Amino acid sequence: MKKELTLPDFICVGPGKTGTNTLQQCLKEHPAVSLIKHVKGARFFDRFYDRGIEWYAELFEHCPTDTIKGEISETYFYNELVPQRIHQHLPNVKIIIILRNPIERAFKVFLQLCRLGLMRGTFDEALKLHDNLIHDNLYYKHLERFLQYFPQQNILVMLFDDLQTDQCAFIRDIFSFLGLDADFKPDSLNLKLNPTSLPRIQVINRLAFRTMWLVRKLDWLPVLAWAKQSSLVRNLLFKEPDDDNQPMMSPETRKYLQATFKDEIGKISAYLNRDLAHWK
């Protein structure tokens, strides 16, 4: 007799730099929620799809049957293959998307890649060399793909703006969407979980990042979790931010991105029936 697979009830598809760390911590604290162990996201539907649905299901086998199960994979949102793949295996799953001003998010991603030793130079130079800084933030284009496979009632689109202004209301809306006790208040609210820092030596950070990906591919997830949570590793790789040496976005670049994202912002504004003029 074929074994019944344990699969998630919800997936936060990202994108990253939108408060997903806060969401992960709050979901971990809810007594009726179970997440995959050791890592934030499985990366199954984009990076490890060839391993098969049984491999994916094993990541949820530890979850009690009376809990809501899920994962947060930040790169699912802008991968063209992911919506169809998710629907094929999880046609009734609930999808959470969190959006942030695309101009600010593009810059934050740039800073993160510099921090990891994967990017150098100015933001202007990075925009010319790395198309994903634009592509990944074409929000409505990516949202449309999910809407092709899932009904609107199965997709919750939240805004990072609301997380900044009222964390309790933000988390309450997500808990309610998942059918959880919306009055539960996690201790992680109002904590700054992902402070900005600078790389000590970029080449070392780049090597560390590639090593961590090798560890991930080998499924040594406890080792990966230890490395990410270790204050020793963090202190070896990163130093405190220096406002005088932080990369900046030039006014000219901001104007260019405002023009680039104008139509996408307008479409998201109409979809959500929200005034997003402050994003433009």
**How many structural domains comprise the chain?**
1
CA distance 227 to 224: 5
pTM above 0.75, yes or no: yes
The per-residue pLDDT for 197 is 61
| Residue 206 placed within a domain | no
| Residue 207 placed within a domain | no
| Partner residues linked to 238 by β-bridges | 199
pLDDT band, residue 67 (cuts 50/70/90): very high
- Among left, alpha and beta (phi > 0; psi -120 to 50; other), residue 136 is alpha
| Residue 220 placed within a domain | no
The 8-class DSSP code of residue 4 comes to: P
Check: CB of residue 130 under 8 Å from CB of residue 119.
yes
Q: Express each pLDDT in 84-121 by its tens digit.
A: 999 999 999 999 999 999 999 999 999 988 887 788 88
Q: Nearest-5° angle of CA 132, CA 138, CA 143?
A: 120
CATH value at residue 24: 3.40.50.300
Supply 13's token pair: 């598809």
The per-residue pLDDT for 55 is 94
* Amino acid in the structure at residue 48: F
| Residue 95 placed within a domain | yes
| DSSP helix/strand/coil, 101 | coil
Check: CB of residue 105 under 8 Å from CB of residue 138.
no
The per-residue pLDDT for 92 is 97
Check: CB of residue 127 under 8 Å from CB of residue 259.
no
- Residue 235 predicted with pLDDT over 70: no
Q: Express each pLDDT in 174-196 by its tens digit.
A: 999 999 999 999 988 876 655 55
- Which range marks the domain in which residue 43 is found? 10-196+241-275
| Residue 169 placed within a domain | yes
| Residue 157 placed within a domain | yes
- 68-72/94-99 β-pairing: unpaired
CB atoms within 10 A of CB 195: 8
Mean pLDDT of the chain: 87
The per-residue pLDDT for 170 is 96
| Residue 154 placed within a domain | yes
| Residue 93 placed within a domain | yes
